[in-house]
Amino acid sequence: MSVDIQLAPVIHFEPGVSTPKPSRSGNLAAGALRAGSLVAFVAILLVFSLTAPYFLSVGNIGNVLGQSAISGVLAIGLTIVLIAGGSNVVTGGIDLSLAANMGLSAAVYATAAQLGYGDATAVAAALLTGLLIGAVNAIAVVGAGIVPLLATLAVMNIVAGLELVLTQNTVIPASTPLLTALSSSGPLSIPALAYVLLVFTLIAAAIVQYTPAGLRLYAVGEFPDAARAAGLPVRRLVAGAFIASGLCGGFAGILSVSNLSGSTTGSGEMLLPVVVTALLGSVFSRRLVPTVIGTLLSTLFVGFLVNGFQLLNISSVLVSGVQGLLILLVVSATTLLRRQEA
Amino acid sequence: MTLQTSAIEPSVPRAIIGVVVDNALVLALVTVFAIFSFATPTFLTIANLQSILVNNFTLLAIAAIAMTFAVSVGGIDLSVGTAIDFASFAFVSLVLAGQPVVVAALAGLGAGAAVGAFNAVLISGIGISPFLATLGTLFIGRSIQQLLTNGGNPVYLPPSGVPEAFRFLGRGAIGGIPVPLIIAAIIIVAATVILTRARFGRVALAIGIQPSVVRYSGIAARAHVAVAFILAGLIAAVAGLILSATVTVYIPSSGSAFLLNAIGATFIGTTLSRLGRPNIPGTVLGVLLLGIVANGLLLTGLNFYWQQVGTGLLIFAVLALSFITRRKA
Amino acid sequence: MSATSPDETGDAIHLDGIVKRFDGALALNRASLRVRRGTVHGLVGQNGAGKSTLIKLLAGLHQPDEGRIEIDGQAYDKLTPHRVEELGIHFIHQDRLLVPTFTVGEALFLGREPRIAGTPFLDRRLMQRRASEILDDYFGVKLPSSALISELSTAEKQIVQITRALLDQPKVLVFDEPTAALVRREADILFRLIRRLRDEGVTVIYISHYLNEIEELCDTVTVLRNGEDVATLPFGETSAAAIARLMVARDIADLYPKRSVTPGKDILTLDRLSAHGKYQDISLTLRRGEVLGLTGLLGSGAKELIRTLFGLESATSGQITIDGKPARSVNPAQAVDRHLALVPEDRRGNGVALDLSVTENITLSSLKRFTRLGFLDFTSERREADDLIRRLEIKTSGRNALVRTLSGGNQQKVAIAKWLSRHSEIYLLDEPTVGVDIGSKVEIYNLIGDLAARGAGIIVLSSDLQELIGITDRILVLFRGSIIREFASSQTSLDDVLAASTGSIEVLRHVG
C-alpha cells in the first residue's frame, strides 16, 4: 500500500556526471530514521501481541481501526494543510480550528437529526458547516494574509463558541439510520467505522498522492518560488487545502456523532493530539514529508499504543507522554543527523 | 534588486492609514471600551473595572508575558501551561505536606523554571524548533501530572489547613489592591524593563528578527534563547502559584487553559505594534482587549455562549483589519 | 561557428537603446542587444555593468524607461513574464527552482503533469520514462527515475532545470552563469548540449564571468560596461584577453585612493593552516596598517579560510597567531573577542539586520560597552551611533531608521560601523563592494584606507581583480586550496595579472 513511498533502494548514478553528492549520507540517515520508526512500530506491536494474546486478533485490530477513525480523519485533514503550508508550523501550514470544526459539525448534524430532517439533509448540513469553516480559514489566510497560526486560532474560538450556542453546552442525542449503520459492525465483525477510515484514507491518498493537484500542493508547501516559477496558482492551492481540511472536520463531526450517539462538547481536547499525530506521520514517508498514508500509520500507532496499554492494564495516561517523547526523539534524531551532515 | 520607493509626500488617506496602523491596538481598545460603556450601564463602574483586572486580566497577563519572552527570540512556548501546572503542583503538595509557604513557593518557581530549562536544552542544545520542542514538553508534562496524581485527581488543601501566607497570596490585598494584581504589575514593569532597557532584551529581539546576524556579531545567540525559555517557565510559574493560592487546589493540566489566549494576546500585541516586534505593553493591551470583551459581553446580558463567539469574532476582525491595512500601507 | 550564415537569419531578439533608472540611478544607459536567430550569444560585463537588469527586462520583470524591444521582428511595448514564456523565451537561473523532495520526473513535469488516459491520476510511469529518455538523449545521463532532487549534485540539478525548459521546446534559452558551480567535466556536457541546441535552431544567450567559456562557446559576444554596450563582436575577430580589457573602465582606476604603506608589527600569522578538503598549508602574515588582497574561484578555499579565521568553520591542523598569541577561535564570539571583524558577503542575510534600526545594528556587537549592570545606557549608545553615522557618512533619515530603508552601499557602511564600534583590529572583508553603487564604493575604499592608517590589519576577499589591485598592498591568489601566486599590488597592473595568469586559465576565468 505504498503510495509515494517507493521501497526501491537508492540506485547509484551512472558514471559520467559525478560531483560529490552531499545529501547521499543525509538520505541514508533519513532512510535509517524511517526504518527505525517502522521497526519501533512493529516492535511495539510485537511486544503487545506477546504479552496480550488478544492484541493481534482480527477483532482487536478492527476495534483499534474503528476507534482511530475520528482522529484519523482529522489528522489527514491537517496533513493536507501541512503539505500545502510547508513544514514551518508557525508561519506555514497549520489548522487549529479542526477539532472545534468537528464539534460544531457534529452539533449541526445532531440538531438537524433531532429536528426531524433526514440523513441526507443532516449530512449535507454537517459537511457544509465544515466547508464554510474551511473557506473562512482560506479567506483569512490567503485573502487577508493573516498568519495561519493566528487566523485558525481566531476561527477556532468562533467555532467553539458557535458550538456552545447551538448545544447550550449539553449533549444532543441523535439516532438516524446512518448513525446506526456507522456504529454497527461490518464484515468480519469489525466496526463499520474501521471500514470508513480505510476507504476515506484510500480516497484521500488517491487525491493527494496520485493527482496533479496533490503534487502541486507539495510544490506550493515546500518551495513556493518553484511553484510560482512553474506557473502554479499558489494562492488558490493553499485556499483549497484549508477548504479540504474543513471538509475533513465536517466528516469527522458526523463520525463522532455515531461514536457517541450524539454530539458532545469537549472536542477541543482532540486538537493537540491530532497535531502531534500529523507531524509524526512524516516519519513514515521515504522523503520525510507529510503523507496521507504516513498519517494513517501514525494514527494507528497511537491507537495501538492506547489499546495495548489498556489490554496490559497499564494506565493510558502514559500515552500522551509516549507521544511527546516520540516526537522529541524523532525530531532530535533528524536535527542531529542534519547537523552531522553539515 | 530591491526598488526603494521614492520619497513622495504621503497623501492624506495614506497618512491616516499610517496613524491607524501605528496605534491599531490602542484604537481597538478604546473603541471596544467606548462601545461597552454606552451599551451597558454597569460596564463603566469602579467595581466592574476592578473585576476585569482581577478576574479577566491577572493570570492571563502573566502567562502571556511568559509567552512574549519565548516569542521575542523568534520562538513560541506551547508548554506555558505545563510550567503553570508544575509550579502549582509543587506549591500545593509541599504546603499540604506542611512545608513553610516560602519554601513551597520557591520549589514551585523552581519547577516552572525546570520546565523552561527542559525546553532550553531541546531548543538551544539539540536545535529542535521551539514549536515541536514545547509541544513534546506539553505532552510529556501531561503524562507526568497524571502519574503524580493517580490518573488526574486534584490535590485539595483542606480549608483548615490553608496557611495565612498562602491565602494572602491569592486573596489578600495591600491598601485595597489585590495581591495578585500587585504581583502582575511588578512582573509587567520588570518584563518591560528587561525587554526594552536590558542588554538581554535587545539581543533577544535581535535574535527574533535575524538570528544569523546576531551570531555573526559574535554573540552567543543560543545562550540567550535558552535564558528566554527558562525565563518563560519561571514567569509562568508565578501564574501557577497565584492560581493555586486563589482556588486552593491543584487540578492537573488546568494550566493549558491559558495557552491559546496567551498566544493570541502576544501575537495581537506583536502584529499590532508599530515595528511588529514582540513587546510587553502590546501583550498587556492584548490581554486587556480579551478581558474587556469577555467582561463586556457578559454585561450585555448576551447568552453566555455567545460571548465566546463574540470574542473570537472580535479578535478575528482586529487581525484581519491590521493585516489588510498593513499590506496597504 | 553557426551552421547557418547570420545573414540569412533575422534577429531573434533586438533590444535597442534601452534606458532604465532605479531611484534616479542609471542602471542601463542606451544599451542595445541584438541576438541573431540560431546563434550562441555571449553577454559579459563586470558586476554592476547592467547584465542582470538587461536580462530582467527581457524576462518581463522590469519595464524599460526608454527604448525598443523587438522579438522575432515584432515590436512589444510591454513584456510580461507570461508573454515572454508564450514567445518561447526561457531562463535558466542560477538558483535552481526545484522542489527538493520531488523525484526527477515530478520536478520536470510540475505544472504540466501527464495523466493516465481517462483518469484524473498522474501518470508517474510516463513521467519517469519521458524524464529518462530526455536526460539520456540530451545529456547522456542516466538518472534513476526514483532519485530525489535533494540527492542530485549541483550539476545534475542544473541539468534537470534545463530539461524542464527543453520540454517546452523553447525558441530562445537564456543561461545566467550556468557553470558557476560546475566542474570542468560537467561544464563540457553543458557546452555540448548548447551547441546541439543551436544546431537544432534554438537561440542561446549565455551570461558568464568566465571569458574562456565565452570564447569556447559563443558565436558573438556583447560587452556591457556601466550600463552601455561598449562592443558587440563576432568571436572570430576577438579574444578573451581583448574582451577582458573592454570590460574594464580605465578611468575608474583613478577612483582608488592612493595611500602610502607603513606596515607596523605583525598582527595575524597563519602557519600551515589546513582544513581537510578545503585548503592546505596556508601560511601568511598580516601586519598592522596593511591591506591584504585574497582572491580565488569558488572552491579555491579562500572563503573557507576567512570563515575559519572568524570561528565559523574549523581547521584540522596548523597555527593561527594574533598579536603573538595562539588564537584558533571555535566560534564567532571568541573571534570577536580577539578583535576580529567579519563583513560577510551576504550582507542582507548575515551582515546587517534589516528590521533593526541603524543604531541597533551599529552597537549590536559592542553592546557591552553601552551596558551598566546589565542595562543599556541609551545616551552613550546614541552618541556612538551619531558619531559613526557622521564619520562614515551613512545616508539615513535618522539613527532610528530601519536598515531596510538604506541603500546597499549605506547598509554596507552600517555593517562596517558595527566593527568600528567594537574597536576591532583585524578586518575580514568578504566581497565588500558587491551590489554597491560607484559613489559608495569609493567611500568604502577610503574607509578601508583610514582603517589601515589607524593601525588595523585588513584582508579583502574579492573577485574584482581591479579593485584588489587598486586598494591592497599585496594580493594572494588561491587555487584548489593553496596559495599559488603573490603579487605586490603597486608593482602590478590588471594586464600584468591577466598576463601572469594566462598560464592558468582558471585565473583568467575569474576576471570580472
Structure confidence by residue, pLDDT tens digits, B5-31: 333 344 455 566 666 666 778 888 888
- Residue C488 in any domain: the answer is no
Is residue C367 pLDDT above 50, yes or no? yes
Supply the pLDDT for residue B21: 61
- Residue C186 sits in the same domain as residue C301: no
What pLDDT was estimated at residue C95?
A: 61
Give the per-residue pLDDT at C146. 74
Interchain proximity A17–C155, CB inside 8 Å: yes
Interface A-C: count of C-beta contacts within 8 A: 98
Contact A26 C150 (CB under 8 A): yes
Residue A13 has pLDDT above 60, yes or no: no
Does residue C65 lie in a domain region? yes
pLDDT value at position C7? 41
**Domain match, C320 and C358 both:** no
What chain B holds in terms of domains, given with CATH numbers, is 12-328 (1.10.3470)
pLDDT tens for each residue of C38-58: 899 999 887 667 888 888 888
- Per-residue confidence (pLDDT) for residue C183, from 0 to 100: 65
Using CA coordinates, name the residue in chain B closest to A141.
B320
Q: Which residue of B has its CA nearest to C359?
A: B202
For all residues of chain C together, what is the average pLDDT? 83
From chain C, pick out residues whose CB is under 8 angstroms from the CB of B1. 22, 52-53, 56
- Position A175 scores a pLDDT of 84
User: Does residue C19 sit within a domain?
Assistant: yes
* B264 inside 8 A of chain A by CB: yes
Which residues of chain A have a CB within 8 Å of the CB of B139?
272, 276, 320-321, 323-324, 327
Residue C415 covered by a domain: yes
Summarize pLDDT for A55-92 with one digit per residue, the tens: 778 888 888 899 899 999 999 999 999 999 876 666 67
In a domain, C496, yes or no: no
Q: Do C468 and C408 belong together in one domain?
A: no
Q: From CA B221, how far away is CA B202, in angstroms rounded?
A: 12
How much of chain C, in percent, has pLDDT values that exceed 70?
88
Q: Which of A6, A19, A230 sits opposite C153 (nearest CB)?
A: A19
Q: Which of residues 225-254 of A touch C (CB under 8 A)?
A: 225-227, 229-232
Which residues does chain C have within 8 Å of residue A226's beta carbon, measured at their own beta carbons?
Answer: 97-99, 110
Residue pair A89/A149 in contact (Cβ under 8 Å)? The answer is: yes
Do C186 and C276 lie in one domain? The reply is no
Among C384, C401, C424, give the residue marking a domain's end: C424
- What are the Cα distances from residue C289, in Å, to C450, C455, C468? 9, 4, 16
pLDDT above 90 (res C188): no
Residues of chain A found within 8 Å of residue C144, distances taken between Cβ atoms: 8, 10-11, 13
Taking CB atoms and an 8 Å cutoff, what residues of chain B touch A89?
129, 131-132
Tell me, yes or no, whether C297 and C249 share the same domain: no
C-alpha span between B26 and B274 (Å, rounded): 11
The chains found to touch B (3+ Cβ pairs under 8 angstroms) are A, C
Residue predicted with more confidence, C160 or B285: B285
| Residue C249 pLDDT class (50, 70, 90 cuts) | low
Interchain CB contact of C482 with B (< 8 Å): no
Distance (Å) of CA B195 to CA A120, A167, B65, B78, B153: 57, 44, 11, 21, 39
Judged by a CB distance cut-off of 8 A, whether residue A287 touches chain C is yes
Confidence class for position B3, pLDDT limits 50, 70, 90: very low
Judged by average pLDDT, the poorest of A321-330, B55-64, C170-179, C249-258 is C249-258
Strands C291-296 and C457-461: parallel
Q: Is residue C497 part of a domain?
A: no
Q: Report the range of poorest mean pLDDT among A298-312, B169-183, C348-362.
A: A298-312
pLDDT more than 90, % of chain A:
37
Q: What pTM was computed for the model?
A: 0.81
Cα gap C400→C241, rounded to integer Å: 48
Can you tell me which residue has the cell 598592498? C473
Q: For C420, what's the count of Cα atoms within 13 Å in the CB-facing half-sphere?
A: 23
Instruction: Give residue C180's pLDDT.
Output: 64
Q: Which of the four pLDDT bands, split at 50, 70 and 90, describes residue A25?
A: very low
- Convert A212-247 to b/e letters by CB count within 10 Å (16 or more is b): bbbbbbbbbbbbbebbebbebebeebbbbbbbbbbb
Q: Are residues C411 and C475 in the same domain?
A: no
Q: Can you state the angle between helices B130-148 and B101-120, rounded to 10 degrees? A: 140
**What value does the mean pLDDT take over residues B109-118?**
98
Buried b (16+ CB within 10 A) or exposed e, C16-50: bebebebeeeebbbebbbbbbbbbbbbbbbbbbbb
Q: Looking at the structure, do residues C115 and C196 belong to the same domain, yes or no?
A: yes
* Average pLDDT, integer, range C274-295: 91
Contacts of A199 by beta carbon, 8 Å cutoff, 6+ apart: none
For chains A and B, what is the number of CB pairs under 8 angstroms?
145
Mind telling me how many Å the CA of C275 is from chain A's nearest CA? Answer: 15
Note the pLDDT of residue A249: 96
C457-461 and C279-287 strand pairing: unpaired
In this complex, do C151 and A216 lie within 8 Å of one another by their Cβ atoms?
A: no
For residue C177, pLDDT over 70 is answered with yes
B213 neighbourhood in chain C, CB within 8 Å: 349-353, 356, 361, 364
For an interface test with A, the pick among B134, B260, B324 (most A C-beta atoms closer than 10 Å) comes out as B260
Assess whether C332 and C475 both reside in one domain: yes
d(CA C294, CA C469): 11
Q: Is A218 on the interface with C (CB under 8 A)?
A: yes
Number of domains in chain C: 3
The pLDDT mean for chain B works out to: 87
- Same-domain pairing of C303 and C182: no
CB A95 within 8 A of CB A148: yes
Task: Pick C436 or C313 by higher pLDDT.
Answer: C313
CB neighbour list of residue C12: distance below 8 Å, 6 or more residues apart: C35, C36, C37, C38, C71, C72, C171, C172, C203
B189 or C211, greater pLDDT: B189
pLDDT tens by residue, A223-241: 888 888 788 888 999 999 9
Per-residue confidence at A342, pLDDT binned at 50, 70, 90? very low
Out of C331, C353, C378, whose CB is closest to B210?
Answer: C353
Q: Crossing angle for the helix pair A192-210 and A234-260, nearest 10 degrees?
A: 180
CATH code of the domain in which C21 resides: 3.40.50.300
The span from the CA of A44 to the CA of B7, in Å, is 66
Q: Are both C419 and C437 inside the same structural domain?
A: no
Q: Of B193-197, C254-258, C403-407, which has the strongest mean pLDDT?
A: B193-197
Cα angle vertex C12, ends C8, C18, to 5°? Answer: 125
Helix (H) or strand (E) holding C19: strand C11-22
Considering the domain architecture, whether residues C430 and C420 belong to the same structural domain is answered as: no
What percentage of chain B reaches a pLDDT higher than 70?
92
pLDDT at res. B328: 59
Between residues C298 and C442, the one the model is more confident about = C442
Q: Are residues C418 and C447 in the same domain?
A: no
Share of chain C above pLDDT 90, in %: 29
Task: Grade residue C344 by pLDDT with cuts at 50, 70 and 90.
Answer: very high
Any C CB within 8 A of A266 CB: no
Q: Please report whether residue C347 resides in a domain.
A: no
Q: How far is CA C343 from CA B262, C279, C351, in A?
A: 39, 21, 6
Which residues of chain C neighbour A223 with C-beta distances below 8 Å?
Answer: 97-100
Over residues C108-123, the pLDDT tens digits come to: 888 888 888 888 898 8
Q: In terms of residue numbers, what domain contains C53?
A: 6-253
Average pLDDT taken over every residue of chain A: 82
Q: What is the pLDDT of residue C413?
A: 94
Of B264, B308, B320, the CB nearest to A164: B308
Pairing of strands C474-479, C482-488: antiparallel
| C502 within a domain of the structure (yes/no) | no
Name, of A30-44, B57-71, C268-282, C490-504, the range with top average pLDDT. Answer: B57-71
Kindly determine whether residue A230 and residue C110, on different chains, have CB atoms separated by under 8 Å. Answer: yes
Is the pLDDT at C240 greater than 80, yes or no?
Answer: no
Confidence of residue A28 (pLDDT cuts 50, 70, 90): low
Instruction: Provide CB contacts within 8 A for B105, sequence distance 6+.
Output: B91, B169, B241
Pick from A158-172, C83-97, C477-491 the range whose average pLDDT is largest: A158-172
Chains that touch A (3 or more CB pairs under 8 A): B, C
Residues C508, C502 contacting (CB under 8 angstroms):
yes
- CA-based nearest residue to C20, from C59, C54, C49: C54
- Domain end, chosen from C377, C403, C424, is at C424
Residues of C with CB under 8 A from a CB of A: 85, 97-102, 106, 110-111, 113, 115, 120-122, 139-144, 146-148, 150-156, 159, 182-183, 185-186, 189
Cβ neighbours of B217 in C, within 8 Å: 332, 336, 364-365, 418
Q: Is the ipTM of this complex over 0.90?
A: no
